[in-house]
Amino acid sequence: MVHCKPASPGLMIRPAMKVIMTHPHKELEVPGPTRVHQLLQRLDLTPEAYLVIRGDELVTEDTVLRDSDSIEIRSVISGG
């Protein structure tokens, strides 16, 4: 799991990027900047089973994601 560091009193809360995981639905906040492949690694996800979408654009694994980005990690594996 990825957690933001708890903000110490008196310090500004660091912004983080919003990551939505679809199916199963989960919402996370991950501090940027981070590359797509690092993000997947941190969440222990195999790249072959997911797509990473920024806004509505597909991004490759070397793309740097920033705090202001909203990210979707979409599972592409179906069981039917």
Partner 1 sequence: MRCRKCAHPAVIKMPRHNISLCKDCFTEFVHNQVRRAIKAHRMFTAEDRILVAVSGGKDSLTLWAILLKLGYRADALYVDLGIGDYSLRSRQKVQRFTDTVAAAYASNLHVHTVEQEQGAGIRELATLVHRPTCSTCGTVKRYQFNRVAIEQDYDAMATGHNLDDEAARLLGNVLHWQTDYLDKQTPSLPASLGGFAKKVKPLYRLTEREIAAYAVIHHIDYIVEECPMAKGSKLLAYKHALNRLEADSPGTKHTFYLTFLDRQAKQQETTGQIAQRDQERLHPCTTCGQPTSTDVCSYCQMRAKAKAHV
Binding site for partner 1 (CB under 8 A): 22-23, 46-51, 53, 56-63, 74-80
Nearer to partner 1, 16 or 21 (CB): 21
Nearer to partner 1, 4 or 70 (CB): 70
Q: How far is the CB of 17 from partner 1 (least distance, A)?
A: 19
Q: How far is the CB of 21 from partner 1 (least distance, A)?
A: 11
Tokens of 35: 């590359």
Catalogue the E-assigned strands of the chain: 17-22, 26-30, 34-35, 50-54, 57-58, 64-65, 70-75
